[in-house]
Structure 1
Amino acid sequence: MNATDRTPADLLRSALAADPARPLVTFYDDATGERVELSVATFANWVAKTANLLQGDLAAEPGDRLALLLPAHWQSAVWLLACSSVGVIVDVQGDPAGADLVVSGPDTLEAARACRGERVALALRPLGGRFPQAPEGFADYAVEVPGQGDRFAPFAPVDPDAPALAVDGVELTSAQLVARAREDADALGLAAGSRLLTGRSYDTWEGLSAGLFAPLAAGGSVVLCRHLDKLDEEGLSKRVESERVTNSAV
C-alpha cells in the first residue's frame, strides 16, 4: 500500500491499482455453510455501488452518522468502505436514535426503527439475497444496490482528519484508522500477500481491524469466519490449508 494513503478508501484504491484480481475478502458462515470470495475488483465494485446508494438515493453527506447494526460479514465490510468513500461516520452498533441513517441486519430491525432518518435492511442471505418481503419502513439493500453505478466519485473530498469510525467507545478519524490498521498489521505479522483468518466479531476495533482494515493496509487478504465456534479442530485445520492461511487472529 502507498505511504500517502490516509483513508480506508485510499487503501482500497491502492489495492485495486496493485492487483485487482487477487482475493481480498473470503467469507464463511459456519452456521449455514455459506462461502463467498470477493476479489479486490469485485469488492471495490460493491463498495462503489453502495457508496452511490449512500450519496445518491439516501442523500448522505460527509459528517453524517450511520449506525451500523451488522455482524462480521462481507456486506458489513462493504458498508465500512462505502461510508469511508462518502465521508460518513460509521457508528458500529451505535444508537439508531442518535444517527442520521441506520443499516440493520435481520435481527436488529426493531432497534433500528428508532432512527428517524433513512433505514436500510440487509437480509444477510447467501449470495446477497433479498428479503422475501422488505421490512416495513426499510429499503432492502439487495433490491436497491444492483442498479447503482459501478464507479463512484464523492460530491466533496473526504477529509482524512474528520471523524470516520466510532466503535466500543473510541472515535477515530480516517487518518487515525489507517495508522492503527498499519500498526495492527505489523503486530499480526502481515505483509503483502498474507492471508489472515479471523473469527472475531465486528463490535470491537480488534475485530474490525483483523476482519478488514489490517489486511487491507498490509496488501493482504482476510478469511472472515462467522460462527467459527461451530467448526471443530479438524475442520479448522482443513480450512487453514485450503485457504492458504498464513496468519490467524481468532
Structure 2
Amino acid sequence: MTVRDHFGETMTADETRPFITFYDDTTGERTELSYVTSANWMNKTANLCVDLASLEPGDTVAVDMPAHWLTATVMLGCWMAGLRIAHEPASVPVAFTSADRCRSDKALAADEVWAVELAPMAVGLRPGPAMEAGAEDFLAQVRGCGDFFTPPAPVTGAEVALTAMPGRGPKELTHDQVMSAAKDRAGEMGVGRDERVLMTTQGRAPLDWLLVPIAVGASVVLVAGDGSGADLAKRAQTERARLIP
C-alpha cells in the first residue's frame, strides 16, 4: 500500500476529523486541516507536479522545508503523483523549498525551484530571496490546480518513495518500507490508532510528525520550535491531545 492508500483508509472512516493542527507562536498562527481538506491540497499539489512542473511517475524531486502543514501537503502530493523524494541533495529536475531556503544545496541542485511561502495567510511569495532567485511561486499556482487527481500511471506500494538516503543502509525505500517503518516508529513512540497527539517540531523528522499519524490513523498537533513544558501541557489539554516529549 502507498502512503496515500494508508491516508485514504482513515479518511474513508471519518473524513472530517483533524489530520494536522499547526501552531507557530512566533507568528500567532494556528492552522488546522481535516483529512478531507488535506486530501484536497494533496490533489492540487499532485496536479501541479504533473501539469505545471511536467513531472512524470518515477521522477525524483527534492523537498527542503521545515516541519509544517504545507510541507505535509507537498510531500504527500509528490507521492500521490508517483514521485520519489530525495533525502540528500541530488541532481533533480524540481525542488520544492520554503521561501527562505531557495539557495540551499538541495535547491541549487535542481533545474527548477518551486518556493513555498510559509508566512501565515500568505497567498504567494513575498519580496525576498525566492523572488530574487526567480523561483516559481507554489502558493500562487497551486490554488488554481484541479481538486481531483488521477495519476498518469498506477502507483503501488512497491514504488520508491524515498531515495538518496544517507548512511550505510538502503539508498532507496519503497512506500511499503516507509509505512512499515512508520508503524514500527508509532510503536516506539506509543502512538495508538485514532489517537490525537501533540509534539514540537524540534528534532522531528517527517517519519515522526507526518508518517506515524498516517500509519495508525492518528491526528497530530504540531508546534513549531521547542516550546516549553508548561505551555505544551496546557495546549495539549486544550487540544485534547497527548503530549509526546
**Equivalent residue, structure 1, for 2:98:** 105
**Equivalent residue, structure 1, for 2:217:** 219
- Which structure 1 segments of 5+ residues have no match? 1-5
Percent identical across equivalent pairs?
Answer: 35
**Cα-to-partner distance string for 1:147-204 (whole Å, 9 max, x where unaligned):** 11111110001132222114544531111011111112222222232112222457xx
Please give the residue correspondences for 1:170-209 in structure 2 after superposition, counting only pairs within 5 Å.
171-201=172-202, 207-209=205-207
Q: Would you say the 8 A contact 1:164–1:173 is kept in 2?
A: yes
Q: Does 1:240 align with 2:211?
A: no
Distance in 2 between residues matched to 1:141 and 1:35, nearest whole Å: 21
Aligned-pair distance for 1:21? Answer: 0.4
Q: Would you say the 8 A contact 1:36–1:127 is kept in 2?
A: no
**Per the alignment, in what secondary structure is the counterpart of residue 15 of structure 1?**
helix
Q: Would you say the 8 A contact 2:7–2:217 is kept in 1?
A: no
Aligned residues: 237
- Which structure 2 segments of 5+ residues have no match? none
**Equivalent residue, structure 2, for 1:152:** 149
Distance in 2 between residues matched to 1:101 and 1:238, nearest whole Å: 41
Amino acid at match of 1:100: P
Residue of structure 1 aligned with 2:7, choices 9, 12, 23: 12
**Equivalent residue, structure 2, for 1:137:** 134
Aligned-pair distance for 1:234? Answer: 2.1
After the TM superposition, which of the residue ranges 99-108 and 19-28 deviates more from structure 2? Answer: 99-108
**Per the alignment, in what secondary structure is the counterpart of residue 165 of structure 1?**
strand
**Cα-to-partner distance string for 1:110-130 (whole Å, 9 max, x where unaligned):** 235524523100111113432
**Equivalent residue, structure 1, for 2:114:** 120
Q: Would you say the 8 A contact 1:121–1:140 is kept in 2?
A: yes
Q: Does 1:31 align with 2:31?
A: no
Compared CA separation, residues 80 and 142, structure 1 to 2 (3 A)? same
Task: Report the RMSD for the aligned CA atoms in angstroms.
Answer: 1.9
Aligned-pair distance for 1:216? Answer: 1.1
Q: Would you say the 8 A contact 2:61–2:83 is kept in 1?
A: yes
Distance in 2 between residues matched to 1:247 and 1:162, nearest whole Å: 34
Q: Would you say the 8 A contact 1:188–1:247 is kept in 2?
A: no
Aligned-pair distance for 1:236? Answer: 1.3
Q: Does 1:86 align with 2:81?
A: yes
Q: Would you say the 8 A contact 2:96–2:107 is kept in 1?
A: no
**Cα-to-partner distance string for 1:73-111 (whole Å, 9 max, x where unaligned):** 00101111111111111124x325x11210111221123
